Amino acid sequence: MKKNTMTLTNNMTGDSYEYKILEGTRGSCVVDIRTFFADSGMFTYDPGFTATAACESTVTFIDGGKGELRYRGIAIEELANNHTYLETCFLLLNSRLPSEEELYKFDLEIRHRAFLHEGLRHLFNAFPDNAHPMATLSAAVTALSTFYNDHLDMTHEEEFLEMAHRIISKMPTIAAFAYRHSLGIPFIQPDIDLGFTKNFLTMMRAYPGGKMHLCANGHEDIKDVEVRALDTIFTLHADHEQNASTTVVRGVASTGAHPYVAISSGISALWGRAHGGANESVIAQLEYIGSVENVEAFIKRAKDPDDDFRLMGFGHRVYKNFDPRAKILKNLQDELREELNLDTELMAIARKIEEIALSDDYFISRNLYPNIDFYTGIILTALQIPKSMFTPIFVIGRTVGWITQWIEFKKDKTSKIARPRQLYIGE
């Protein structure tokens, strides 16, 4: 009978070491090498931790080869098409979808917690009006820990959930205030009569006195399709396993720091263009291409190994098939274009690039399919949301994932402070 172990042999010394193979409920098995240094006197070497599992988790599962993404075992397609973002938040926090009554109470609590302490609201005045909203957002969330400094020794489930509900509800308000401060225009307070996503759009667009900024359809109202589109984007960004920003959140959590400080660290990590800032780069590149007539030339440049130009929004480090979130957003983009009668030059450029990439063997053979960033940027532009707010919107959606991962880490009795080792090659 085969043992559920792996044997590693040191060919220099002839010593062998045996380690357990651990099986998850889905995906790859892992080799438990926690005693490897004690056994051999050596560390493993894995830059970027691309072959290392740093934790056990029940939150999110990804199969990059199959193009599969699940929250708490439920396929992303089911959640995006049949459930709201708040239902998804409840699922991540409670490991199940809410009943009708539970959703009503959860929604009501989130609406009433959306207001900021007046002292925090005045903090925005200390920032220059040309500050990027992500910088302001990160600083304001760190400051949030000064107003709610009682979350270092939580012991009951109710305490964890209160802390989580508070940050989820306040993040859209902080993001909207950061945006409006960057423009030097008055803040719009949350409206408890509005749902989560419509309330955020209102705080972004409205003027004092109830007047609305002209939205994508040329009218002053916020159309249901716009709310549905943004709500779907929030859902698709809610969690994504142990990505860079989530790893940062867990790393800060391991030090015992305040949960909101850990979230602020995640915001800073997400800001990078190699992570959450990629959708800004997509739109910047479409603007740079300029017109549909220029697309062929830029495609040619992208395929030239001697040219540094690379198409933004194609391919994914994890998904070696079509990103399942991108499929959902492609359908959403088409729906927006029809219902809002949108057919901008940027959309036409993106459509031409997509058409070529999905039929060109160069892209297909390299698994360079359009990813979530490609479609997110186009949709947010269609909703008249400026590029500077693309990543803050990512933050709003991802907040529930970060705080869920933080809670899971804190409840894990085997968790330790993060402390990777190194291969020293200096003097």
Pick the catalytic residue from 181, 237, 316, 323.
Answer: 316
Buried (b) or exposed (e) across 38-53, using 16+ Cβ within 10 A? ebbeeeeeeeeeeeeb
Which backbone phi and psi does 74 adopt, to 5 degrees? -100, 130
DSSP 214: -
- How far apart CA 126 and CA 298 sit, in angstroms, is 43
Are 150 and 180 within 8 A, CB to CB? no
3-state SS assignment for residue 147: helix
C-alpha of 403 from chain center? 12
Q: For residue 181, indicate whether it is catalytic.
A: no
Are 22 and 32 within 8 A, CB to CB? yes
- How far apart CA 235 and CA 84 sit, in angstroms, is 7
The radius of gyration of the chain from alpha carbons, rounded to an integer in Å, stands at 23
Retrieve residue 6's tokens: 């792996």
Are 163 and 151 within 8 A, CB to CB? yes
- 160-165, long-range: CB < 8 A, 24+ apart: 160/407, 160/410, 161/93, 163/259, 163/403, 164/93, 164/400, 164/403, 164/404, 164/407, 165/106, 165/109, 165/110, 165/113
- How far apart CA 358 and CA 397 sit, in angstroms, is 28
- Alpha carbon separation from 66 to 52, 80, 290, 383 (Å, rounded): 20, 18, 35, 31
**What is the residue type of 107?**
D
Q: Is 226 exposed, middle or buried (0-12, 13-18, 19+ CB in 10 A)?
A: buried
Q: Is 168 exposed, middle or buried (0-12, 13-18, 19+ CB in 10 A)?
A: buried
Q: For residue 308, indicate whether it is catalytic.
A: no
| Catalytically active residues, by annotation | 316, 373
